[in-house]
Structure 1
């Protein structure tokens, strides 16, 4: 079943994860798209991205929403017409949507060794507790990236830097939650973070 997992971090927040096993045609047949969404998906060069886009619309249906209920602001942040908060992500054959009464952000990433090449671009404070020789170094880097991407989506502010402005507190072994901070100009914001790993992927979400 493509609906892979449903998580309820609290009574006002729900996460739904979709495993994309359907073909493009099957996904297209299962959703109703507004004209601008249809133009957008048909203009994508990658079928992987097309299927990711369409699977997000399937997830909206699982929440009881239609494509027409979703719109984006000038910063590219998604919103729902009823005022509830939403964040969206997809990576390869997984997608996820989180909806809440609180401000939220979510990200899924595939765990890949090449993240080590760009680690210097998004790791600062975290280097104090990361062990490059550890067997789980790639997994830890991926988790930190997911958290910072979630914060970026949540904050939706031009000029926010993963490296300079986002801090992820160390996670104890066996735990699946932590705290992260955004320290941007005169604003210091604390967020609760939860994450999970599955089939070589990491998903993290931030809740204000």
Structure 2
């Protein structure tokens, strides 16, 4: 399938989302991988993960980059050789890439009821405004997870805790935006977050 969605949050930032309908072989034939990236994808046991990895490289090509333009630092954060900021996510049959002049983070997650089981591991303050009895409880938990994951990718420092150091202020599902904080060691900063839902998935991205 062609590109699923393109968003321009501002003049320096672009989000692209791909719906992965192609087979592993189709994706592999369309991308040019560095030797270490090819070794990595061939070593993956799950075809779902292989297709996610390859679809991200396809998205890079949509931006005008190749796998050779991408590298990772010692914390696992992706970077582009030209100095642009990049963040990457994939979940099941969707992948997303955001590229910006600003520091950014993005996350895509499938909405699943089992997130309620692990909510205590990443939610603290947010329980004050969440209501387990509402129809949108799972959706809100998924937004909170995506927001905190995007902040984690943006900040990318060892020891940052979703539960203890990331805070999402109250929001409504139809707001499509919220604010969140990182409060960790020397860092105390507020971020504007945008989020949206599509085909049973949630996406959120943070821009510094």
Same fold (TM over 0.5): yes
Q: Deviations over 1:57-80 (max 9, x none)?
A: 000000000100000000000000
1:138 and 2:138 are equivalent in the alignment: yes
Deviation at 1:186, TM superposition (A): 2.3
Alignment of 1:36-115 (within 5 A): 36-115=36-115
Alignment of 1:116-155 (within 5 A): 116-155=116-155
- Root-mean-square deviation (CA, aligned residues, Å) is 0.7
DSSP 3-state at the match of 2:118: helix
**Poorly superposed stretches of 4+, deviation over 3 Å:** none
DSSP 3-state at the match of 1:142: helix
1:191 and 2:194 are equivalent in the alignment: no
Q: 8 Å contact 1:2–1:21 — kept in the other structure?
A: no
DSSP 3-state at the match of 1:114: helix
DSSP 3-state at the match of 2:117: helix
Q: Select between 178-187 and 81-90 the one with higher mean Cα deviation.
A: 178-187
CA distance in 2, matches of 1:159, 1:146: 18
Q: Show the counterpart of 1:204.
A: 204
CA distance in 1, matches of 2:192, 2:9: 10
Deviation at 1:201, TM superposition (A): 0.3
CA distance in 2, matches of 1:176, 1:186: 29
CA distance in 2, matches of 1:11, 1:168: 26
DSSP 3-state at the match of 2:45: coil
DSSP 3-state at the match of 2:75: coil
DSSP 3-state at the match of 1:154: helix
DSSP 3-state at the match of 2:105: strand
CA distance in 1, matches of 2:173, 2:86: 30
Q: Deviations over 1:161-194 (max 9, x none)?
A: 0000000011135210111100001210111100
Q: 8 Å contact 1:151–1:206 — kept in the other structure?
A: yes
CA distance in 2, matches of 1:31, 1:187: 39
What runs of 5+ residues in structure 2 fail to find an aligned partner? none
Q: 8 Å contact 2:109–2:146 — kept in the other structure?
A: yes
Q: Show the counterpart of 1:174.
A: 174
Q: Show the counterpart of 1:19.
A: 19
What runs of 5+ residues in structure 1 fail to find an aligned partner? none
Q: 8 Å contact 1:77–1:153 — kept in the other structure?
A: yes
Deviation at 1:2, TM superposition (A): 2.9
CA distance in 2, matches of 1:186, 1:88: 26
